[in-house]
């Protein structure tokens, strides 16, 4: 069972309590790259890097040693819609983690010397993506699919904008968007809710909640496209996708099951069997479903032999058409539901994954479904549901296709 509470300033707290020597803790902030405007592209990600570079109370090396020095791990990541700072530590050091989270989220100073060094780090991160077509293709795909909308922004930003960041602009973005009511403190481990709330009141309760400047009122529109870009690669990199249900849509569970059937992590996914196992056209083929707050994105990626790219593409489209034309048999449906249910249970068994998943869920829904509730929703999906959802989305006229290759 999950335990919830909201502090008077709007900060949400969620706990999954269970015996463990290790406790996983984090803070989810409802701010990501889609909330950047003007020449701020990449700022949410850059701030995530720079939170560890100094506060009013600590220098960078003090921040680095605060958790690492007791054998824990401190990290962070940025997505299109969220930023997360998190740590793994012995349970006895939970207070140390929460105190540090509050310090870097509300008191970061972004020292100029550290910021200039971090610019070089992020610019090299951008370079590394440019050297990896299997990663770059996702960013370019989203830029084409959502052209003209902030959701199209590359999370890393542009080289030009990153070079222009100043401590003043970073502080302005932080203070304008990092509000208690847009945050969730999420913990999985051996701590009581009474103890956790005491620590959250102690380190987060003093900060007033004022309105944030985040504006997501403009819904993104998916633009179908077909683009073939000449790159000197040993493989052809193929990405085919379409619009998908958002995180609040009633078809989200059915679409998640469709995605798992098509190109999930299991070796028996339809795409892996059809393209890799039957023909040996590729090493890696997978599908992903990414639901956002007001839209969703589904895409299939394959790195295939240059001479086989058109045949692989036809096979992929055939598999999508099969799901539209032929409903799953009762045995196929039960097998697919059992497989995804098992994957969810295994994922949830790792404390770090659980901490992050319940934090994001509470941020989005103000509630977290238990594993049993999610399994019940999954078992309620019918073969007719899957066929209907496939027919609603897998229309070739509405696909976006991006290909890298000679």
Do 251 and 189 share a domain, yes or no? no
Of 154, 170, 204, the one marking the end of a domain is 204
Report the sign of the C-alpha dihedral through residues 267, 268, 273, 275, in that order. Answer: negative
Q: Which two tokens stand for residue 202?
A: 């102690």
Question: What CATH number is associated with residue 42?
Answer: 3.30.830.10
Does residue 74 sit in helix, strand or coil?
strand
Please give the tally of structural domains in the chain.
2
Q: Which two tokens stand for residue 284?
A: 């890696």
pLDDT tens-digit profile of 61-82?
A: 999 999 999 999 999 999 999 9
Strands annotated E in 91-140: none
- Distances from the Cα of 80 to the Cαs of 32, 44, 142, in angstroms? 5, 9, 11
Do 176 and 285 share a domain, yes or no? no
40 is in which domain, residue-wise? 2-204
Do 235 and 333 share a domain, yes or no? yes
Q: Which two tokens stand for residue 16?
A: 């999954």
Closest CA to 314 of 281, 336, 269: 281
pLDDT tens-digit profile of 70-117?
A: 999 999 999 999 999 999 999 999 999 999 999 999 999 999 999 999
Structure confidence at residue 396 (pLDDT):
93
Residue 213 pLDDT more than 80? no
Model-level pTM?
0.93
Backbone φ, ψ for residue 252 (5° rounding): -60, -45
pLDDT band at 282 (very low <50, low <70, confident <90, very high): confident
Of 171, 204, 237, the one marking the end of a domain is 204
Residue 355 CB coordination number (10 Å)? 26
Tell me whether residue 273 is in a domain: yes
Tell me whether residue 73 is in a domain: yes
Report the sign of the C-alpha dihedral through residues 126, 130, 134, 139, in that order. Answer: positive
From CA 75, how far away is CA 105, in angstroms rounded? 13
Q: Which two tokens stand for residue 395?
A: 């229309």
- 290 touches 141 (CB < 8 A): no
Do 115 and 234 share a domain, yes or no? no
Position with higher pLDDT, 277 vs 390: 390
Under the phi-then-psi rule, with left for phi > 0, alpha for psi from -120 to 50, and beta for the rest, what region is 10?
Answer: left
Tell me whether residue 379 is in a domain: yes
Report how many helices (DSSP H) and strands (DSSP E) the chain contains, helices first: 15, 11
From CA 108, how far away is CA 47, in angstroms rounded? 9
Tell me whether residue 215 is in a domain: no
Structure confidence at residue 144 (pLDDT):
96
Q: Give me the DSSP letters along 302-316.
A: EEEEGGGHHHHHHHH
Q: Which two tokens stand for residue 215?
A: 């504006």
- 269 touches 315 (CB < 8 A): no
């Amino acid at each position: 069972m999950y335990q919830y509470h909201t502090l008077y300033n709007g900060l949400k707290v969620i706990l999954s309590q269970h015996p463990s020597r290790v406790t996983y803790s984090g803070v989810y902030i409802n701010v990501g790259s889609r909330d950047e405007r003007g020449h701020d592209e990449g700022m949410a990600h850059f701030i995530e890097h720079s939170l560890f570079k100094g506060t009013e109370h600590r220098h960078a090396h003090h921040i680095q040693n605060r958790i690492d020095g007791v054998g824990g791990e401190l990290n962070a990541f940025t997505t299109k819609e969220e930023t997360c700072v998190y740590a793994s530590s012995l349970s006895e050091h939970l207070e140390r983690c929460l105190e540090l989270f509050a310090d870097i989220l509300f008191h970061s100073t972004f020292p100029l010397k550290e910021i200039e060094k971090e610019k070089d780090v992020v610019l090299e991160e951008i370079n590394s993506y440019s050297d990896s077509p299997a990663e770059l293709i996702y960013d370019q795909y989203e830029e084409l699919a959502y052209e003209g909308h902030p959701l199209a922004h590359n999370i890393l930003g542009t080289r030009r904008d990153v070079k222009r960041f100043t401590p003043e602009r970073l502080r302005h973005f932080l203070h304008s968007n990092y509000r208690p009511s847009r945050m969730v403190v999420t913990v999985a481990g051996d701590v009581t809710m009474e103890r956790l709330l005491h620590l959250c009141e102690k380190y987060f309760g003093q900060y007033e909640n004022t309105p944030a400047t985040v504006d997501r009122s403009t819904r993104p529109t998916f633009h179908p496209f077909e683009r073939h870009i000449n790159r000197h690669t040993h493989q052809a990199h193929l990405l085919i996708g379409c619009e998908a249900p958002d995180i609040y849509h009633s078809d989200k569970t059915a679409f998640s099951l469709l995605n798992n059937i098509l190109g999930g992590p299991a070796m028996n996914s339809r795409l892996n069997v059809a393209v890799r196992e039957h023909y040996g056209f590729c090493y890696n083929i997978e599908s992903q479903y990414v639901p956002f707050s007001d839209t969703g994105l589904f895409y299939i990626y394959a790195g295939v032999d240059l001479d086989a790219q058109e045949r692989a593409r036809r096979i992929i489209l055939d598999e999508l058409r099969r799901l539209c034309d032929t409903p799953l048999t009762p045995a196929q449906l039960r097998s697919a539901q059992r497989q995804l249910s098992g994957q969810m249970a295994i994922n949830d068994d790792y404390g770090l994954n659980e901490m992050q998943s319940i934090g994001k869920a509470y941020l989005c829904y103000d509630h977290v479904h238990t594993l049993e509730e999610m399994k019940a929703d999954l078992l309620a999906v019918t073969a007719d549901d899957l066929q209907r959802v496939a027919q609603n989305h897998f229309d070739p006229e509405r696909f976006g296709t991006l290909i890298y290759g000679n």
